[in-house]
Structure 1
Amino acid sequence: MHTIMLVEDDSALCSQIIEGLKKWGFNADSAVNFENIIDDFSKIKPQLVIMDINLPCYDGFYWCNRIREISKVPVIFLSSRDTNMDIIMAVNTGADDYIAKPFSMQILIAKIQAILRRTYDYTTADHDYIEHRALILNMGESSVIYGNSKSELTKNEMKILRLLMTNKGRIVSRESIMKLLWDDDQYVNDNTLTVNINRLRSRLSDLGLEDYIETKKGQGYIVI
Structure 2
Amino acid sequence: MKEKILLIEDEVKISRFVELELKYEGYEVEVAFDGRKGLEMAKETDASLVILDIMLPKMNGIEVLRRLREVSDIPVILLTARDQTMDKVMGLDMGAEDYMTKPFEIEELLARIRVILKRKVKLGANKHDTLNVGKLSLDELTFEAKYDGELIQLTKKEFDLLKCLIQNRNLVLNRDQILEKVWGYSYYGDTNVVDVYIRYLRSKIDDKYKVKLIHTVRGVGYTIKDE
- State TM-score, norm by structure 2: 0.51
State whether structure 2 residue 51 is matched by structure 1 residue 47. Answer: no
**How far is the alpha carbon of 1:36 from its aligned partner?**
3.7
Residue type of the alignment partner of 1:56: P
**How far is the alpha carbon of 1:59 from its aligned partner?**
0.8
**How far is the alpha carbon of 1:81 from its aligned partner?**
4.0
Paired position in structure 2 for 1:71: 72
Q: How many residues align?
A: 128
**How far is the alpha carbon of 1:122 from its aligned partner?**
5.8
What is the percentage of aligned positions where both structures have the same residue?
A: 33
Paired position in structure 2 for 1:30: 31
Structure 2: runs of 5 or more not aligned = 130-227
Change (3 A) 1:9 1:17: same
Change (3 A) 1:26 1:82: farther
Paired position in structure 1 for 2:118: 117
> CA separation in 1, counterparts of 2:87 and 2:34?
24
- State TM-score, norm by structure 1: 0.52
**How far is the alpha carbon of 1:66 from its aligned partner?**
1.1
State whether structure 2 residue 97 is matched by structure 1 residue 96. Answer: yes
**How far is the alpha carbon of 1:33 from its aligned partner?**
5.5
**How far is the alpha carbon of 1:100 from its aligned partner?**
0.2
Change (3 A) 1:11 1:119: same
Paired position in structure 2 for 1:14: 15
Change (3 A) 1:121 1:38: same
Residue type of the alignment partner of 1:109: L
Change (3 A) 1:102 1:36: same
Alignment of 1:137-156 (within 5 A): none
**Deviations along 1:89-122, whole A, 9 cap, x unmatched?**
1111211001100000000000000000011226
> CA separation in 2, counterparts of 1:91 and 1:43?
23
CA RMSD of aligned residues (A): 2.4
Change (3 A) 1:42 1:91: closer
> CA separation in 1, counterparts of 2:42 and 2:95?
16
**How far is the alpha carbon of 1:55 from its aligned partner?**
0.4
> CA separation in 1, counterparts of 2:60 and 2:25?
28
Paired position in structure 2 for 1:140: none
> CA separation in 2, counterparts of 1:81 and 1:57?
22
> CA separation in 1, counterparts of 2:9 and 2:115?
22
Contact 1:2 1:46 in 2 (8 A): yes
> CA separation in 2, counterparts of 1:101 and 1:47?
23
> CA separation in 1, counterparts of 2:93 and 2:63?
11
Paired position in structure 2 for 1:145: none
Contact 1:53 1:77 in 2 (8 A): yes
